[in-house]
Structure 1
Amino acid sequence: MPAQTSNEGEGELTVYCGIDWAEGHHAVALVDDAGTVVAKCRIGDDADGYEQLLGLLAEHGDTPEAPIPVCIETGRGLLVAVLRQGKRPVFAVNPLAASRYRERHGVSRKKSDPGDAKVLANILRTDMHEHRPLPDDTDLAKAVAVLARAQQDAVWSRQQLTNQLRSLLREFYPAALEAVAGWQNGLCRPEARAILAAAPTPGKAGRMTHKQLCAALKRAGRKRGIEAEADRWRDVFKAPHARHPELVEDALGRQMLGLLRQLDAACRTVDDLTEASEEAFRQHPSAEVMLSFPGMGIQLGARVLAEIGDDPARFADTRAVKAYSGAAPITRASGKQLYVGRRRIKNNRLHDAGYLWAFSALTASGGANAHYRRRRERGDWHSQALRHLFNRMIGQLWHCITTRTMFDERQAFPLPLAVAA
């Protein structure tokens, strides 16, 4: 419940807090039930500023039993971590939604930090029931979220560097691309990076001996098939290819080595974060339930857990988690017009993980594959059928997590009565 304060000759008043955050300072406003600003200040983004904010809240009735609710436009950072200590409800409002609330109080489009703080406080005063506070996830779930998101960002950065390196090799070193063509994520393989570091240009690659290629493969950690792999690389390098002038080729080789060093660092980062996120995910109580689902691997499970959390009160029902993930369709009806389409406002990370999960489940579950085939027979495209499958499975996952039950193929995808008979 929001904190209440009393004035002489008046009854108790409920107080709401709004914070307009910035990089170096934050504007704070406290309003009562009537919308009157009872206090406002500007604090720094440091420990002293946080203490000043907590002192201001305490002066206006903030207690551990009845904390003052806070509205802010972000759900991360040290300020949010300080405010979430205890049972204080913190509401993270989308900046776009906050700008719409600002237009309710005037059409001049004026804007200021204290004014935005007042708008955020008034959001709680008038529409707190329409917004959800930040979920009360455990520290382990928060740690999984940090590591899983960092791992996903590192994978995206690695792919961006891989694309840049591939584009450069196409310009002057097609033999390298030909050698890794049969490998998945070939340029990310340690063998490819080791050989490219030893032979950064086609001229140097053509002069590499069998022994040198074997040594590069061993440095990369390869244990088996070294002799045959070295022969394959040597044959590719010895084949005739178009060449740049030697001076230009050496310059392009130096550029390639720069990208290769960045790719090496990105690959090591992905490996380290993958190991850390998987280790943290295995320690979570929901890991066993999530891994019982077909197509759900450890890293994919960590990404899903990072987005849905482990607060059982976060979603009212399975429909809420389906809408949050973007799996459930959205309906727009006006008069005789009715439109049903996919959601564009969603948790993109969870939606991306759900696409991979549904695709993996096609080969791991007969029921999931049959459901996908039925949707395709009804006219759905591939992505539509996968989204429909994800919509069904994310609801089942949330039910199993909240009830602590394992996945059951027969209950998740029951056979039609005619087939069962």
Structure 2
Amino acid sequence: MNNIKRKFAVHIGLDWANKKHDVCVQIGDSKTRSFEVIPHLPEAIDTWLHKLHVETKGDIAVAVELTKGPIVYALQKHSFVTVFPIHGLTLSQYRKALYPSGAKDDPMDAELALDMMLNYPDKVKPLKPSSGDCRALALLVEQRRALVDDRRSNANKLISALKQYYPQPLEWFSHRDSELFCDFLIKWPTLESVKRARNITIEKFFMARGGNSLSNITKRVEGISSAVPLTEDNSVILPHKMLTIALCKQILTLIQNIRVYDKQIALLFKSLPDAELFESLPGTGPCLAPRLLAALGEDRTRFNNAQEIQNYAGLSPVTERSGQKSWVHWRWQCSKFIRQSFIEWAAKSVGISYWAGLYYAQQRAKGNTHQSAVRSLAYKWVRILYRCWKTKTPYDESKYLKVLRERNSPLLAA
């Protein structure tokens, strides 16, 4: 009898859906299994779990094809429930191995999840939730990124709209998703409207906002004075003018919401004991440090070596061999957001970390593209981060450079 069978009184495989969940239940060491359908309602899930707990007087193990989401949160609410997440691709391949015909239904997937949890305890490990603050941070940084992506998407739509009737602002401004750009377009959404404005009015608009806008006032005023309309067809101008104003208002709302997220993320991040460690990493800053902390979490037993983090983050290339053929490709099965976090951090570190700058330059000198060089650097950074994270030691650039010199690293000999 394996450890998981000794520890839990009930073993459940669960196939989730938006409105209901198919479950396969095995009590203790019994070979008998029962199938149920549980509505996706908090009350129904609670009643079902409490009934099982009272009847068996023991803890419950649930295998599910998720690491987060409504059903996982509903299960984790109960101290007597342990969640065993199973990777969706793993379950799919397991199903194909047992049913080559391609047969599939929800009760079958629930039973397969149960089988995997019981038969492969070394592969299917229990989900160990981090502290409440760390879990909240993980959700917040992902949601913030979604808002940033929405802002970029609206900015692209705005650029497209301006090209149809009023392209000059694209020359006058370099940041097309900024408050300054949107405020300008809301105030003067057409070339005709801005050309009617007096120069002193335009100058006051930029002076009131300060910053970098002050250095470009003269250039922008001259550009407005010499600008010629792309079109004078009101049937083109009116619809695109309305779209421009609408998109600008959406971008401004997103900017405000992102700031609210930034404040909450900073507050949670500072409260976590690993904050100093992730702040010490060159190039992380207030945006990437919380994302990296959320990616690794607080459980030091989660990863046994740096390679596991590299695989988890999608930074390790995958080699496939068949006969005499061999090819290497990008790792597809990973969290794109987490991979993006590591790669963005590596890119930021190039201008801050001495050795990272040298490594990037060497990769470029070999003929690698920028993206390839940054991915290689991220792969290398993970080894350093793993060591710091495992030992709870903040990164120290001078110590790392000393180690490189002692090892006569070719990186410093370049």
Q: Same fold (TM over 0.5)?
A: yes
Partner of 1:76: 68
1:17-416 alignment, distance < 5 Å = 17-31=12-26, 36-58=31-53, 61=56, 63=58, 67-84=59-76, 85-86=78-79, 88-180=81-173, 183=174, 186-214=175-203, 216-217=205-206, 222-223=209-210, 231-241=218-228, 242-334=230-322, 336-413=324-401, 414-415=404-405
- Return the offset for 1:72: 1.1
Structure 2: distance between partners of 1:122 and 1:257: 56
**The 10-residue stretch of structure 1 (284-293 or 344-353) with the greater mean CA deviation from structure 2:** 344-353
SS at match of 1:50: helix
- Return the offset for 1:111: 3.2
**The 10-residue stretch of structure 1 (283-292 or 381-390) with the greater mean CA deviation from structure 2:** 381-390
- Return the offset for 1:110: 3.6
CA deviation vs aligned residue, 1:176-234 (integer Å, no higher than 9, x gap): 11210xx3xx222222211211111111111112343355446xx61468877555433
**Structure 2 vs 1, CA of residues 328 and 87 (structure 1 numbering), >3 Å: closer, same or farther?**
farther
- Asked whether the 8 Å contact 1:35–1:122 carries over to 2, the reply is no
Residue-pair matches, total = 405
SS at match of 2:4: coil
- Asked whether the 8 Å contact 1:321–1:394 carries over to 2, the reply is yes
SS at match of 1:212: helix
Structure 2: distance between partners of 1:2 and 1:107: 29
Structure 2: distance between partners of 1:107 and 1:345: 22
Structure 2: distance between partners of 1:418 and 1:119: 50
- Return the offset for 1:75: 2.2
- Asked whether the 8 Å contact 2:363–2:373 carries over to 1, the reply is yes
Structure 2: distance between partners of 1:400 and 1:330: 26
- Asked whether the 8 Å contact 1:210–1:231 carries over to 2, the reply is no
Structure 1: distance between partners of 2:268 and 2:37: 39
| Counterpart code for 2:376 | H
- Asked whether the 8 Å contact 2:318–2:328 carries over to 1, the reply is yes
Structure 2: distance between partners of 1:234 and 1:286: 49
Partner of 1:2: 4
SS at match of 2:232: coil
Structure 1: 5+ residue stretches without partners: 6-12
- Return the offset for 1:401: 1.8
Structure 2: 5+ residue stretches without partners: none
**The 10-residue stretch of structure 1 (199-208 or 347-356) with the greater mean CA deviation from structure 2:** 347-356
SS at match of 1:187: coil
Structure 2: distance between partners of 1:174 and 1:364: 37
- Return the offset for 1:350: 1.9
**Structure 2 vs 1, CA of residues 382 and 17 (structure 1 numbering), >3 Å: closer, same or farther?**
same
| Counterpart code for 1:417 | N
Q: CA RMSD in A?
A: 2.9
**The 10-residue stretch of structure 1 (303-312 or 87-96) with the greater mean CA deviation from structure 2:** 87-96
SS at match of 1:2: helix
Structure 2: distance between partners of 1:335 and 1:113: 37
- Asked whether the 8 Å contact 2:183–2:248 carries over to 1, the reply is no
TM-score by length of 2: 0.87
CA deviation vs aligned residue, 1:13-53 (integer Å, no higher than 9, x gap): 97421111111221111136888443332222222212233
Match 1:417 to one of 383, 408, 413: 408
Structure 1: distance between partners of 2:362 and 2:26: 55
Partner of 1:8: none
TM-score by length of 1: 0.86
SS at match of 2:304: coil
**The 10-residue stretch of structure 1 (282-291 or 207-216) with the greater mean CA deviation from structure 2:** 207-216
- Asked whether the 8 Å contact 1:15–1:32 carries over to 2, the reply is yes
